[in-house]
Amino acid sequence: MLSAASKLLLRRGGVSKGHVQNIAARGFAGQKSFHIDTPTNNADVPFDFTEENYELVDKILSKYPVHYKRAGMIPLLDLAQRQAGGWLPLNAMNKVAQIVEVSPVRVYEVASFYTMFNRNPVGKYFIQLCGTTPCMINGAQDIKKTIMEELNIKDGETTPDGLFTLLEVECLGACANAPMIQLNDDYYECLTPETTKQLLQACREGKPPAMGKWGSLPMNGQVSCEGPLGKTSLNEIHVYKTDASRFKKGSVDPASVKKHMAY
């Protein structure tokens, strides 16, 4: 059924009904913006934090004033998603709403807005493939084709064994090492079809390659964003020295703050 906005587009002309239906059916980050009950995700399927995670809930809430619990909504949703296996069931969102003392719709609004939250189940290895310009011109579509052929799934689908989910997304901010994917929390960069196959096989074996020193892993052997010549600049780290006794008298002259902070 078309929305009022879609019907308005049709009345104004220039847009076909089929195109409008396609727009109306599009989801947010591969998901619909509304909830649909399923046998495994409805109001009757219970969710509660584990005892260990309740300790993390208290730690998260302790960072905010007692009357501003809602400020912890996003980290609590992230915690719930990790406990649920990479996605947010309906009652996980309801539990967060209960904890931060807001109506559930306030949590639904946040969870449906941010693409980091998955309101449908995803595979153990959630592959987000960057398809934006730098990755595209460096072979992202070849990587996408390799993944689809290797796993026998299409964009937005999950393998029957629940091991992999593939989703093409917008820029992931690793343009210097394009093409790349985000695999759960980790970035695998400088991919080729061959190294992509190796990565998928390692995941099948339960041994995804560990991240490098700088928190990502270029699959061509380079270190972080270094070029073929290695590190060519910023070879020295300047260590600023400060006077350990600068506040010994318990006060500081505002005019000398920069000096005290080693600016």
The tens digit of pLDDT for each residue in 138-161 reads 999 999 999 999 999 999 999 999
> For the whole model, what pTM was predicted?
0.74
- The answer on pLDDT for 165 being more than 50 is yes
Residue 164: partners with Cβ closer than 8 Å, 6 or more residues away: 123, 124, 125, 126, 127, 151, 153, 158, 200, 203
Residue 44's pLDDT is 87
State yes or no: pLDDT of 22 exceeds 80: no
Residue 20 pLDDT grade (very low, low, confident, very high; cuts 50, 70, 90) = very low
The residue that leads in pLDDT, 234 or 66, is 66
Region 69-81: mean pLDDT is 97
Evaluate whether 20 touches 2 at the Cβ level (below 8 Å).
yes
Tell me the pLDDT band of 213, cut-offs 50, 70 and 90: confident
Spatial distance between the Cα atoms of 23 and 26, rounded to a whole number of angstroms: 5
Distance CA 121, CA 167 (A): 13
51-61 vs 73-83: helix crossing angle, rounded to 10:
160
Mean pLDDT of the chain: 86
Per-residue model confidence as pLDDT tens digits over 117-140? 999 999 999 999 999 999 999 999
What is the reported pLDDT for 223? 87
Q: Categorize the per-residue pLDDT at 41 as very low, low, confident or very high, splitting at 50, 70 and 90.
A: confident
**pLDDT of amino acid 252:** 65
CA distance 165 to 122: 6
DSSP 240: P
pLDDT computed for residue 14 by the predictor: 47
| pLDDT in the model for residue 26 | 37
Q: Quick one: how far is CA 215 from the chain centroid?
A: 15
Mean pLDDT on 231-244 = 77
Residue 21 has pLDDT above 50, yes or no: no
Average pLDDT over residues 242-255: 70
- The fraction of the chain above a pLDDT of 70, given in percent, is 82
* 3-state DSSP assignment of residue 173: coil
Segment holding 11, helix H or strand E: helix 4-12
At residue 214, the pLDDT reads: 86
* Each residue's pLDDT tens digit, 1-14: 455 544 544 455 54
- Phi-psi domain of 2 (left: phi exceeds 0; alpha: psi -120 through 50; beta: other): beta
Residues 187-212 have a mean pLDDT of 96
Distance CA 29, CA 12 (A): 28
Report the share of the chain in percent with pLDDT over 90: 65
